Structure 1
């Protein structure tokens, strides 16, 4: 394997005014083999969706790295108020100059910075570990927040790698999802605690660069409401709130699950609310082909049913299946016919999933006697402990 020699970048940036041709200038020291283009790129993400996203941002300037390592951007945008830009480098042979790596914060090739007219930045980084090594001398509070966020993301990613199991193993799929959620939680906590809008939006994007917030809808609604109140004039807040719209997000904790007509295994069609347990109902969303779902049927839901069915627990399994025979076979094999089961047998086109506004399994909703959601997407020991505490405390 070819090893990259250290490629150190030192950018000494003096930012004066947008009309100054050297408003963003510096030097890049290169040692060893050159596997990187001798260019630095300044990318405008355009909007909230473009933060950290490849092929989306617009290159507003580029600078040649001269033989002595010097460079200078020529076209800095006018920014009376702070705006978020992305500084990036590219490897030799890369066709798309706005490509942003997002696989690993140790090696990602870009870093977000906040620029404002009259500011001053001094940056250093190592190309092979651009995002990890990126530093700013005397950063503004907003840029210091971005550096802090980078550190949080890096640590959270290391924890994710340490905790994620083999995704091809039944239990490993759930372990990997839990590790991914822990990673997200670290970024979400930063977004909840920071007072700076653009770093918060960066954290939200880093929590799911694909823009998939199905598993964290309550967080997205809260962030929308928070920044609508604090910065209603900022266009990126409106873009955030397209994702934080409770009307398009999955049913939230605290909501009442719709009283939907459920086609039961028995052949009857029954309204969901008439099936609820006296104290707690687990609405388990699963499928015969979902390995971790089947494992949870046997190892978690079965024991909970045996222990708590007489204390007000109900379980309703809703399957994302298309074959009556396969569905029945899974129920029989797992030994879970003791509780209620329903399915439209329409596979991925399930109308009940459309009502709940979800696409991903395994999933579950825990509801009280009125159908109000008291918890969501708890699995394994977390689910067991919640049921024990909830029913044991007499709620």
Structure 2
């Protein structure tokens, strides 16, 4: 019975799931529909590309772009643009697990991976063991991780950090998806990360697993 209920719950997502190409085609076919903004958001997914999303947004009717949804999406695009490689990383100051303010600037002089995650996010928790191995390899080579949690409950956040053995620095404002750092960096899906150099400039976005390790081996010679 439980399996049947799970299947029934999955049917809508299976029926209505769309490929990226289908989403883009739907956006282009409906430039006067405000719902196309949400479709553009889906196009970005975990790996948003500013140029791609901005290009699709510009194809929408001007009236759609001037709606409240359109203005909010423009802010999101600005955040993506402002965190492209080569850009100065936006500041982050939130409370750590001890309730003390901690800032990204406290790690200036090191390469820093800003890791956006949450205790309730299964893909994030699956990613954590890989990050633990990465940290073990590079933590003594001028590299640090700053975990930024999208949790709302302190206890759940703290437990996940302990359970997953995440020994790097962690901060959060406990505002969930409204996390101020997440908004500044244009994070609409997690896990996501931003790699920042010792001067605070963005190096890359969303490097995971061996892609991240290879990049770190390249720059931490």
Question: Does the alignment reach a TM-score above 0.5?
Answer: yes
CA distance in 1, matches of 2:188, 2:168: 24
Contact persistence 1:262–1:272 (CA under 8 A): no
Q: Which one has the bigger strand percentage?
A: 1
Change (3 A) 1:313 1:218: farther
SS in 2 for 1:360: coil
Match for residue 217 of structure 1 among 15, 31, 50: 50
Equivalent residue in structure 1 for 2:123, among 292, 303, 321: 292
Rounded to whole Å, the distance in 1 between the matches of 2:177 and 2:60 is 33
Give, in whole Å, the separation in 2 of the partners of 1:284 and 1:361.
9
- Structure 1: state its 5+ residue gaps: 1-47, 57-204, 225-234
- Say which structure is richer in helix: 2
Pair 1:353-2:186 in alignment: no
- 1:176-195 equivalent positions in 2, closer than 5 A: none
Number of the residue aligned with 1:51: 28
Rounded Cα–Cα distance in structure 1 between residues aligned with 2:134 and 2:60: 43
SS of equivalent to 1:310:
coil
The answer as to 2:94 corresponding to 1:265 is no
What is the CA distance between 1:364 and its match in structure 2?
0.3
For 1:19-168, list aligned pairs within 5 A: 51-53=28-30, 56=33
If the length of structure 1 is used for normalisation, what is the TM-score?
0.41
Write the distance in 1 (CA, Å) between the matches of 2:61 and 2:125.
41
Cα gap change, 1:339/1:265 in structure 2, threshold over 3 Å: closer, same or farther?
same
CA gap 1:360/1:50 in 2 versus in 1, 3 angstroms: closer
Larger Rg: 1
Gap runs ≥5 in structure 2: 1-24
Determine which structure has greater relative contact order: mean sequence separation of CA pairs < 8 Å that are 6+ residues apart, divided by chain length. Answer: 2
TM-score, normalised relative to structure 2: 0.69
Structure 1 residues 49 and 252: alpha-carbon distance in aligned structure 2, compared to 1, 3 A threshold: farther
Q: 2:61 and 2:131 mapped to 1: Cα distance?
A: 41
Instruction: Count the aligned residue pairs.
Output: 181
Deviation (angstroms), 1:347: 1.6
Task: Identify the residue that residue 201 of structure 2 maps to in structure 1.
Answer: 372
Show the 5 A alignment for 1:244-283: 247=78, 249=80, 251-276=83-108, 278-283=109-114
